[in-house]
Chains A and B, each alone.
Chain A
């Protein structure tokens, strides 16, 4: 008190530290890496307390609700209805669907960029630096893949179409909009670099919430599938799933809430403290507990799709059989037919899935079938069929096999965030057979519709010297 010294005016926060402190050692850099992982499932990224804003699973749910395989039972509290109805696309304000994708991914990209730039100089072992840099490259590529899938048309045939700004440095330089091809080139390069660094680092990960070499390979397989690079898709998917078993029936019906299940390759381990209660994925997916999904926003599978699941297939047990009154909501009332309870949890501390082995089998199967390697494709898809519906298998070939694999993908990965992207990739129209037309305002869209691509948020255009309104394309 009362000092005239300059130190009197030097203050510092206690809930934040300077960048220098973070990037002193590899331990510090790992703290920055964990911040990225946490942000991937943090609530309230837009900062206005919305209950539909909890990281990548938000983006995944939007992708499913914009597809044709997930329908909504009623308006309920109205969350995500604008996505389901395709009525929010025109809104490009700081509170829109487009902004949730934009903000989350560029936050991840910025934080990854800083690690990539700083980590070579921090104190520690070389393998630690390699391991951290590999993770940051992977999370950056993962973010760009989400952006490309949402904000641009699919890769093939649109390589020179506008995508998103490609920021590969933490600098304040404004970047114009890159093409789909450029963004995918960067994704592939990051992942290839990451895989090499993971390999040279040669260390395991402390938990499945970290990305590792197989997760990087899995993301690389996803990108390759989008790029119709069938060879890479097959090899990367195979490498990615190596050593991961498929879920047992008990695990399939266990609620998809536990990242220790063997099949999970990447997921977030959410504890009581980090759960966000009503503002969470499970609140919007679980019809059996007091949640938005039990208050009218139950998520259903269309009847026709449900009817394709054999009675002996365990996946049929993830949806309420129409007429079945034994599945009860928290008030003891029967849950409506066709409602999914694939994602259910006894406690809010429920884990979020990011990647599992079945997807890798399906990528491998689809890529192989498309590449004409029917035998490889059959083996991969039959692994899924055998696990879900023991004794069943396919011996189809050619286009019939492709179609069968696509169906298996829709059934197996229902609710896991692929709905819209598969429609774009397959270049098929949106077909909302069996949706309630009084709720569903957009029942069909042409293949390759511009409506599938989110716009650039207006605030990006306003603030970025390199982007103008003319870059907003439909």
Chain B
């Protein structure tokens, strides 16, 4: 410290000494574009506080100390010029117009930085870039907006969020999600609580220099959201009104209709009698059409479908022994599940904000109201938001500010993403087309073809017909039983059920900044994120799963997150050197309380609370705490605005780890060189050129629970009334952070006054991965967390922005980004780990598909054939085993019809695309603007489980994809088809391009295999917006200072290899039955007063 004081004193004294002598210099400053004199240009002697300003004629005069030789000319909108005096006394200078974006100030970790001086990799996404996108959550806005950022499809469920990966996949078992920072402090709320209209900019921090100051939480990148603040000057009132209409962005898979469905079911049932039960083909044809059991009940195709007959003919006459539908049959009722369950969803979005301020204070106040319907009936979101952001320079030495957000929203939704009957997307997709929504009078019943009504004349729903009887055509009245979801009707029960969430949240950030000495500040930040989530799940007592009693679950979760920090900053310039320093201390505290209770036994419908229900079915409550304490520091140094170095360090202690291992240190070092500032690079067409490199280490402690190191017994395993507990976890005292080492290098440029961009190369290596290492199950545990394993993401990112045309009346701008990266596992705790559809092995990616390999359909029988490796057998018929205990392969591949038993799995590519990105074309013409934003992804594989569902072998009652019509139906001409040996030594002809036969019950025919994999490439018209800004004069006439009207379309069109599939659902490349993403058409009006 003493040494530092002496050093500082030395600089101060030398500065004063130098001040004493000098030479007077004069000159004129003009602008390059129009050649006119520039008044108000600041002229400073580099490295000193000596300065002057040009007058109205652009003239200046300044005294330059003899030891100084450089003058700096700077002016808003112009490129700053540094000029060597070189003994001259008159210096005239022409300033170039600054290319947009070169010297913007961007938000980085714990502060801001000028883009030109920043040594790391961070991309700023400004308000105008996301303004067109109509989304209720900021997470849904980022797809394709900048390089290195991958986004999953946001579910169309109102209130849902998208998942984001920055520069590849950081972790295997721990979290790979980025850290969100709002207004300078890590955010503990829900992204849905932020009104996108309040967002001023989003910055994506990608490399170590940018993110290492977030230490243990920065490894997966950081997304910094900055909200709007008031501008000094005139008060401004802005009103925004938007109305939208949404529909499915991705249409449902094409499925076969009723007549085809009976025919195909007939065939599947017939085949089960032949190939399963061993009947002759002729007998099976008879049986499938007319089969009858000893009691006189039919067991023909119609009976297999729960006696549902959608046609006006005798069910024994519906399908002939040729498998063809009776030509005289007419449909009695439609397939209308989608019509009944889906709708065009409406959205209303109203926002109003006021901002203003003077030299010392500013404010921004906003109110928002959103009402968004979901595509499905009974799903929606209603949100009220309010925000106040204010800053005040109370005294010269004291500045205080606040940003506070309050939100209350309610969503109604239902389960999605799973294959339960209560998921409408699954239910409506897989329901066979011959099962009606409403109950109908069927063949040979009075009122044939009409809907059965209740005593009030209302249509009744078909709940699987277990309570109805049908004429089976043999004179018997038989009960119905829909094979799928036999007692359930989503259309009937959705309105009676409830799955709602009510969220109240307050998020506040405050700071107090003391200017202690010139350049030295102490800033204290206190932020609080409160979130209260109250959930209701109600199953009605009239229909469905809880018929007769009803069931309700209520839960309440209260989350409170505090962050408190003290930051000391100091910046100082001396000579050509300038420095800024940061030192700080931070505490983070997360607290969560949860309470839930379930009761059943409702006497009547109506009140959806616990009180009316008679019987308790369980209740629980718990609390979680998570804390981090940190010390951090950073040094930024630049020399002559050409050379920049920055270094940071942070030490974090986390409550998630044992006291002996809980402290970890993270750091970064970066440098950049602005070549364009060198005299040898002063060429016309180079506006700016910078090279940079950084390296650093960040941590990840997320996604491993709150107490991963502790050896625990879980409570609540009570044996009736006797308290019970079960061993849950082993003590893991050595567990610690996952580490991410991040190398980044790149070049940023601005050329020809119209082309800007950057090219960056990164290597992101994860080591000490927080790995849930599988344990022998015989130890009594599945797995334990260990710091084992490594992974690497190497990639390249390119961002380009070009002003193709920039005439006064017409402008055309192209914004383009592309990212390529490769993910490779470098170290694993086991040689191979099979996890679902993937197998992890060193040298492969984390999302490498490993599944059975479909060879084709057996030409003779239509059976599905799969490959497997032949194993070497010794003279005794025993398998030959190698030193590792693995059977030795002969190298020959054989075919099997039993994939689960005999078949082998093979690698089938990764879900990670070859490259992805976005491109925006923007046009401006006399007040009109048009923007077309496309996103794309090329390469990678996708396992479409939804398609597999629709290509089942004949699971009675389930719908079929139209592709099933192209499947094997009769023996193929084996001539010209390939042949191969089966496991039993026989030889078989097979057709690789044919879909196997259908056959009820033979699940081997739809066994998970590469047959259901598709290219994951997609192309999305993400947004098209057409807007018009009323000329200022015209606006004034109606009392406004500005007026804009616009129409916009989001997710207008998505192209994929398999229509119906959405390859963006999941980074791992597998399909779930998710809430379809939406396309939205919006009209809007913004008025400023």
Contacts and interface: CB of A to CB of B under 8 A. Distances in A.
Nearest to A93: B834
A169 B429 CA distance: 50
Nearest to A332: B467
Contacts of A164: 778
Contacts of A437: 276-278
Contact of B724 (A34, A89, A170, A273): A34
A35 B776 contact: no
Contacts of A107: 726, 780
B24 interface: no
Nearest to A28: B725
A460 B712 contact: no
Nearest to A164: B778
A3 B273 contact: no
Contact of B778 (A12, A30, A35, A167): A167
A462 B278 contact: no
Nearest to B587: A2
B622 A273 contact: no
A3 B587 contact: yes
A58 interface: no
Contacts of B726: 32, 35-36, 38-39, 107, 111
Interface in A419-474: 437-439, 441, 457-460, 462-464, 467-471
Given A38-B724, A329-B466, A438-B272, A460 B486 contact: no
A295 B715 contact: no
B718 interface: yes
Interface residues of A, number: 100
Contacts of B330: none
Given A11-B707, A295-B486, A469-B885, A460 B776 contact: yes
Interface centre among A1, A16, A441, A457 (most CB of B within 10 A): A16
Interface string A211-236: 00000000000000000000000000
A107 B714 CA distance: 13
Contact of B710 (A18, A207, A460): A18
A16 B713 contact: yes
Contacts of B486: 76, 295-296
Contact of A87 (B466, B713, B720, B1003): B1003
A293 B350 CA distance: 52
A469 B834 CA distance: 14
Contacts of A21: 713
Contact of B713 (A19, A103, A272): A19
Contacts of A82: 1003
Contacts of A438: 269, 272-273, 276-277, 1000-1001
Given A9-B629, A22-B725, A174 B276 contact: no
B777 A106 contact: yes
Contacts of B603: none
B669 interface: no
B193 to A, nearest CB: 23
A270 B706 CA distance: 32
Given A32-B725, A37-B724, A87 B900 contact: yes
B589 interface: yes
B722 interface: yes
Given A167-B780, A464-B776, A13 B713 contact: no
A345 interface: no
Contacts of B627: 8-9, 11
A29 B959 CA distance: 53
Given A1-B564, A22-B725, A331 B479 contact: yes
Contacts of B707: 11-13, 16
A142 B781 CA distance: 19
B510 interface: no
A74 B600 CA distance: 30
Contacts of A16: 707, 710, 712-715, 725, 728
B723 A34 contact: yes
Contact of B774 (A18, A111, A439, A462): A462
A75 B483 contact: yes
B725 A17 contact: yes
Contacts of B773: 463
A31 B562 CA distance: 37
Nearest to A259: B720
A165 B778 contact: yes
A269 B720 contact: yes
A90 B900 contact: yes
B718 A38 contact: yes
Given A19-B712, A113-B780, A459-B777, A331 B466 contact: yes
Interface string A162-174: 0011010010101
A209 interface: yes
A457 B778 CA distance: 10
A469 B956 CA distance: 37
B881 A167 contact: no
A208 B718 CA distance: 14
A394 interface: no
Contacts of A329: 466
Interface stretch (B196-204, B654-662, B988-996): B654-662
B414 to A, nearest CB: 16
B283 interface: no
Interface string A25-51: 000001111111111001000000000
Given A2-B587, A31-B724, A109-B780, A468 B564 contact: no
A458 B904 CA distance: 13
A91 interface: yes
Contacts of A172: 730, 775, 779
A270 B718 CA distance: 10
B832 A469 contact: no
B587 A11 contact: no
B300 to A, nearest CB: 12
A334 B662 CA distance: 65
Contacts of B653: 9
A271 interface: yes
A26 to B, nearest CB: 13
A463 B295 contact: no
A11 B625 contact: yes
Contacts of A463: 773-777, 830
B1015 interface: no
B734 to A, nearest CB: 14
Contact of B623 (A14, A290, A333): A14
B116 to A, nearest CB: 37
Contacts of A209: 719-720, 722
Contact of B834 (A38, A75, A114, A462): A462
Interface stretch (B91-99, B121-129, B611-619, B796-804): B611-619
Contacts of B777: 99, 102-103, 106, 457, 459-460, 463
A451 to B, nearest CB: 10
Contacts of B869: none
A254 interface: no
A463 B831 CA distance: 10
Contacts of A332: 467
29 contacts: A2-B587, A17-B713, A18-B710, A18-B712, A21-B713, A35-B717, A37-B719, A39-B717, A87-B900, A90-B900, A90-B901, A106-B779, A106-B780, A110-B781, A111-B727, A165-B776, A167-B780, A170-B780, A271-B720, A272-B615, A273-B617, A274-B720, A296-B486, A331-B466, A441-B276, A441-B1001, A459-B834, A464-B778, A470-B886
The 9 closest A-B pairs by CB, nearest first: A110-B780, A468-B885, A34-B724, A90-B901, A464-B776, A90-B900, A35-B726, A35-B724, A331-B467
Interface of A: 1-4, 6, 8-19, 21-22, 30-39, 42, 74-76, 78, 82, 85, 87-91, 93, 99, 102-103, 106-107, 109-111, 113-114, 164-165, 167, 170, 172, 174-175, 206-207, 209-210, 268-275, 278, 290, 295-296, 322-323, 329-334, 337, 437-439, 441, 457-460, 462-464, 467-471
Given A18-B710, A93-B834, A463-B777, 7 more contacts: A22-B713, A36-B724, A74-B483, A75-B483, A207-B719, A273-B619, A437-B277
